Chain A
């Protein structure tokens, strides 16, 4: 028996060592990069209080890691190094790294768009808004279907909103609305179409345009049933947002109820129905609820 247990333990150990040895992926480097990212996050808490030597030390670690990393990971490292310089407010150096990404990874649209965005951000932080906006527009035109490209119109609108530039913000929201409507129209059956509709809902929510927002949220639920699952945080967020708009903003819980009933009716086998059915009894018209509680 003792021998059997020794053999079994040896099997586990040999398998562990053997599989570690055979593994030729970037797992170890991914792990190192993740821990460097944590160090980076730590520095972002109060960059002003961080001595320059700490930044240099982290740059050195990134450089050492880059020496061992393959091409896909190099892009991530270059981006993080650029972001580290951005944090230090060494904008020229930061741009240098973001430019390297755009030059070396020209074929990857997502990476291109992200690197360009950060280039724009360096100008924005320098107070050169016009240069920044030119780059943002370029991203929106050249890479409209990437995550970064898709978020640009909303980013610009929020930029003006934060600075209380109401006219520019309103114009930016209007342009964002048109952009997302167009993208959704052209790519409605793809992930980009879904994302555009989600961002269109955000545009209406940001402007407190509750009626329009609820309409778009309803379309999100009904037009993309396959993306909604009860375990998906996005689906949970969508339901919560529908509830929040219908109950708290419009004070018409029955509107949310009708949306869910329509969904259950159209997709009777959908896994989300179970959760939606538990919500239905709570979504009665406000006057009905008042009379019930009086009883």
Chain B
């Protein structure tokens, strides 16, 4: 039954509603993201401008120190890989590791003790960071590849026919392809962190076991990740087609969309990690 993606999603939603403790690590991650947004929002203004002002002027230009361009900068820099990659490697790795332990403790009907969870997570921090780094590296590879495809598509001059449709699909389908790639990568590496946290494997052994033991379950996990990831599609569309709502001339919307993105991602991550860990635990029980 647990191999049915819909049942798995239902179970994880039920687990999240009955055990809100699972949400705690994701709350921490949302806090970090919102703090970054807050810093970026105030960066062009006193007193943060003392430190950030010269950086913004040098990297973006004077106009980004002022309204409304400060919102363009906020949205752009918040999505930049030099902010998001360190956040993912340093913090998401810990957050997901903690969530896995919390779910496992709840499943074993043990009391969730945060200090102990922190301690157990930081004991394998290096492995978690490498695992997160591998995920980021593969996703980065995909995005570089997609960039090349996009460049090629932009060179297509047809205004009708099959090549025209390919060009349109590549350009306008970018948010969906982005979701698809991240779904594939998340699904392909889904059990690496549970294996590190619960079987105390080192990262390389976890990577190997992840493919050996769960390679055949890739499609089920991909469906779980993809279906839950669909909640994020409206945010992706809002980000990708921002000129639509920029047309209404409310620059603050750029900031609102960034905050909404953090909130939606909080739920998506919680659902995905809960579903994957539940799958792992049920699979372990079946094996035993």
A166: min CB distance to chain B, Å: 37
A5 within 8 A of B: yes
Contact between A23 and B46, CB atoms less than 8 A apart: yes
A34 within 8 A of B: yes
The contact string, 1 if C-beta is below 8 Å from chain A, for chain B 3-41, is 000000000000000000100100110010011001000
Closest A residue to B30 by CB, please name it.
A8
A192: min CB distance to chain B, Å: 18
Report the bound CA distance from A191 to B68 in whole Å: 25
A223 within 8 A of B: no
Contact between B42 and A23, CB atoms less than 8 A apart: yes
Question: How many residue pairs at the A-B interface have CB separations less than 8 Å?
Answer: 50
Report the bound CA distance from A278 to B31 in whole Å: 43
A167: min CB distance to chain B, Å: 41
Closest B residue to A23 by CB, please name it.
B45
Report the bound CA distance from A9 to B28 in whole Å: 10
Find chain B residues with CB under 8 A from A1 CB.
21, 24, 114
B66 within 8 A of A: yes
Interface residues on B, range: 20 to 34
A49 within 8 A of B: no
Find chain B residues with CB under 8 A from A27 CB.
44-45, 66-67
The contact string, 1 if C-beta is below 8 Å from chain A, for chain B 149-181, is 001000100000000000000000000000000
Contact between B24 and A5, CB atoms less than 8 A apart: yes
A35: min CB distance to chain B, Å: 9
Find chain A residues with CB under 8 A from B155 CB.
278, 282
Find chain B residues with CB under 8 A from A16 CB.
38
Report the bound CA distance from A231 to B54 in whole Å: 21
Which chain A residues in 9-29 approach chain B with CB under 8 Å?
A: 9, 11-12, 15-16, 19, 22-25, 27
A4 within 8 A of B: yes
Contact between A25 and B38, CB atoms less than 8 A apart: no
Find chain B residues with CB under 8 A from A24 CB.
46
Contact between B46 and A22, CB atoms less than 8 A apart: yes
Report the bound CA distance from A16 to B42 in whole Å: 9
Find chain A residues with CB under 8 A from B251 CB.
34
Contact between B47 and A8, CB atoms less than 8 A apart: no
Option from A4, A19, A38, A278 in Cβ contact (under 8 Å) with B249? A38
A165 within 8 A of B: no
Find chain A residues with CB under 8 A from B24 CB.
1, 4-5
Contact between B38 and A12, CB atoms less than 8 A apart: yes
Find chain B residues with CB under 8 A from A31 CB.
67-68
Option from A12, A30, A34, A282 in Cβ contact (under 8 Å) with B34? A12
Contact between B151 and A278, CB atoms less than 8 A apart: yes
B48 within 8 A of A: yes
The contact string, 1 if C-beta is below 8 Å from chain B, for chain A 255-289, is 00000000000000000000000100010000000
B231 within 8 A of A: no
Report the bound CA distance from A11 to B34 in whole Å: 11
Of A1, A8, A22, the most chain B CB neighbours within 10 A belong to A1
Contact between B42 and A19, CB atoms less than 8 A apart: yes
A73: min CB distance to chain B, Å: 10
Find chain A residues with CB under 8 A from B249 CB.
38
Contact between B67 and A30, CB atoms less than 8 A apart: yes
A91: min CB distance to chain B, Å: 29
Contact between A34 and B68, CB atoms less than 8 A apart: yes
Report the bound CA distance from A30 to B70 in whole Å: 11
Report the bound CA distance from A6 to B249 in whole Å: 34
Report the bound CA distance from A22 to B114 in whole Å: 36
Find chain A residues with CB under 8 A from B83 CB.
none
Report the bound CA distance from A38 to B246 in whole Å: 13
Closest B residue to A281 by CB, please name it.
B155
> Assuming A23-B42, A23-B45, A24-B46, is B67 touching A34 (CB within 8 A)?
yes
> Assuming A23-B42, A38-B249, A278-B151, is B66 touching A12 (CB within 8 A)?
no
B49 within 8 A of A: yes
> Assuming A1-B24, A5-B24, A8-B27, is B46 touching A25 (CB within 8 A)?
yes
Closest B residue to A20 by CB, please name it.
B42
The contact string, 1 if C-beta is below 8 Å from chain A, for chain B 225-268, is 00000000000000000000000010100000000000000000
Report the bound CA distance from A30 to B71 in whole Å: 13
The contact string, 1 if C-beta is below 8 Å from chain A, for chain B 53-86, is 0000000000000111000000000000000000
A-B contact pairs, 13 of them (CB 8 A): A1-B114, A8-B27, A15-B35, A19-B45, A19-B48, A22-B46, A22-B47, A27-B67, A31-B67, A34-B68, A34-B251, A38-B249, A282-B155
